Amino acid sequence: MGDGCARALDLLPLHIQGRISDAGEAVWVKQHLQLCGDCAEEAAFLEGLLPACPEPPVDLVASVMARVEAPVTPSVHHVHRNLPPSALPNSAPSRQRVRFGGWAASVAALLILGLGIGSLWTGDGANGGDLLFSAFLEDDEVAVDRDDWMVAGAPVLDALPDEVLLALVSEARR
Amino acid sequence: MTAPEQQPNPGEDRPDGPLVQRARSGDREAMAELVTRHQGTVYRFLLGLFADEDLAADATQETFVRALGNLAGFRGDSSFRTWLLAIARNEARGALRRRVRRRELALDDAPPIEDDGVGPEAAALRSAEVHRIREALADLPPKQRMSVSLRLFDGLSFREVGRAIDSSEGAARVNYHHGIRRLRELLDEQGDQVRRRRSDG
Ligand SMILES: [Zn+2]
């Protein structure tokens, strides 16, 4: 691996899609690929991955715009990509409270593991913990779904690392 | 070792500012255009997070509904795309709660939800190779998967990838490179298995 390889490897994903906007840099990568078999091979490998680029459902824009147009409804309907709209159930699922059972206990354990004591109780003091648990465990949109959360920054929820979130998702799937 | 970041936001060749301005004043065409531009990135980011197409599609829709309803909250400190990805991260939490709710329903009386995310025709249309790559992608650790996806498919800078995955620019770069290396290994392994099966049978 030559000296320029690290730089080239960083840039290859942009190069193969013609996304390097700096003309000098684009030329540099091309020249490097002519001289360096390793990087050229890597570029070919990356190009082979591009057809697998996942795409969102085709009706996503329409679905979003339909909901932006309509008065805001709190419930969310599931995106059924393979069904016509007429095949969708008419009534929203009835709202049920999440019971504090085995799953919820695991959540609590994960939260404590993932967050550590410090990050949970910074900021708002002891209220942080309550807010967090109410946000996750109660079937109550108020705690996290207020529209001002983005402006306010939702500090408590933002403190959740992705690892914890992912652990929660896989836990919920089981 | 680390190459300097040459472009703050590669791939963002068309500035979003004018569209956001129009969307703020209620211009629906501008809103739809913003969704069209960024739906792929948001979807792939969420797919990288969940490795579940239905969850990702739902959360993508939620992300845009929220974003368009809260355009006043976008103050232009970051790019519009970075702002969207932050909302998507939050929506991922909402997706979790809905998932739990749906699961409770399924346990009671609701019909089971088709969860494969791929209809038979759609699956048939996917070439074997594409399927193979997606399987390998799904096997990556989430941060590697998100980094590979955002860098390779969407051309985000490592700095922007870092923000999206709640890591540093350096960590995003490392996750990308490790992810690519792991992807290669997984695809090679798959290839070996196929070859072995063929020679056995
Ligand atoms: Zn090289």
For A5-26, how does the pLDDT look when each residue is reduced to its tens digit (9 = 90+)? 999 999 999 999 999 999 999 9
DSSP state at residue A148: T
Per-residue pLDDT of chain B (201 residues; tens, 9 = 90+): 444 443 344 445 578 999 999 999 999 999 999 999 999 999 999 999 988 999 899 999 999 999 999 999 999 889 999 999 999 998 887 776 666 666 654 444 433 334 445 565 555 556 889 999 999 999 999 999 999 999 999 999 999 999 999 999 999 999 999 999 999 999 998 878 877 877 775
B121 CA from centroid of ligand 1 (Å): 41
Q: Specify whether A97 is located in the same domain as A11.
A: no
Contact A64 B61 (CB under 8 A): yes
Contact A19 B11 (CB under 8 A): yes
Q: What angle do CA B162, B168, B171 make, to 5 degrees?
A: 85
Q: Specify whether A10 is located in the same domain as A81.
A: no
Q: Specify whether A42 is located in the same domain as A83.
A: no
Q: Specify whether A82 is located in the same domain as A159.
A: yes
In a domain, A29, yes or no: yes
Measured in angstroms, the CA of A158 and the nearest CA of chain B are apart by 8
**Is residue B72 classed exposed, middle or buried when 0-12, 13-18 and 19+ CB atoms within 10 A define those classes?**
exposed
Q: Specify whether A24 is located in the same domain as A107.
A: no
Q: Specify whether A24 is located in the same domain as A102.
A: no
In a domain, A38, yes or no: yes
Residue count of chain A: 174
In a domain, A65, yes or no: no
Residues of A in contact with B142 (CB under 8 A): 162, 166
List the domain range (segments joined by +) for residue A19.
5-52
In a domain, A62, yes or no: no
pLDDT at A93: 40
In a domain, A63, yes or no: no
Kindly state the tokens that stand for A129: 């913990």
B115-201 and B14-108 share a CATH fold? no
Q: Specify whether A105 is located in the same domain as A151.
A: yes
Number of domains chain A is built from: 2
Three-class SS state of A76: coil
Q: Specify whether A77 is located in the same domain as A108.
A: yes
In a domain, A90, yes or no: yes
Q: What angle do CA B34, B39, B41 make, to 5 degrees?
A: 115
The residue ranking higher by pLDDT, A155 or A168, is A168
CA distance A78 to A23: 45
For A102-115, how does the pLDDT look when each residue is reduced to its tens digit (9 = 90+)? 444 554 455 444 44
Contact A165 B96 (CB under 8 A): yes
Residues of B in contact with A7 (CB under 8 A): 3
Highest mean pLDDT pick, A81-85, A170-174, B35-39: B35-39
In a domain, A68, yes or no: no
Task: With beta carbons less than 8 A apart as the criterion, state whether B158 and B151 touch.
Answer: yes
Q: Specify whether A77 is located in the same domain as A106.
A: yes
Q: Specify whether A82 is located in the same domain as A130.
A: yes
Q: Which of A9, A46, A162 sits opposite B166 (nearest CB)?
A: A162
Measured in angstroms, the CA of B71 and the nearest CA of chain A are apart by 10
Q: Specify whether A79 is located in the same domain as A137.
A: yes
Highest mean pLDDT pick, A69-83, A125-139, B133-147: B133-147
Task: With beta carbons less than 8 A apart as the criterion, state whether A79 and B57 touch.
Answer: yes
**What residues contact A15, with CB distance under 8 A and at least 6 apart?**
A26, A29, A30, A33, A43
What is the reported pTM?
Answer: 0.68
Going through B28-181 in order, the beta strands assigned E by DSSP cover: none
Long-range contacts of A129-132 (CB under 8 A, 24+ apart): A131/A156, A132/A156, A132/A157, A132/A160
CA distance B118 to B125: 10
CATH 2.40.30.10 fits B115-201, yes or no: no
CATH 3.40.720.10 fits B14-108, yes or no: no
Q: Specify whether A167 is located in the same domain as A102.
A: yes
The residue ranking higher by pLDDT, A93 or A52, is A52
In a domain, A57, yes or no: no
Ranges of each domain in chain B: 14-108, 115-201
What is the residue type of A83? L
Task: With beta carbons less than 8 A apart as the criterion, state whether B87 and A163 touch.
Answer: no
What average pLDDT does the segment A44-61 reach?
96
- Residue B2 CA to its chain's centroid (Å): 25
CA distance B50 to B55: 7
Binning chain B into helix, strand and coil, the percentages to the nearest 5 are 75, 0, 25
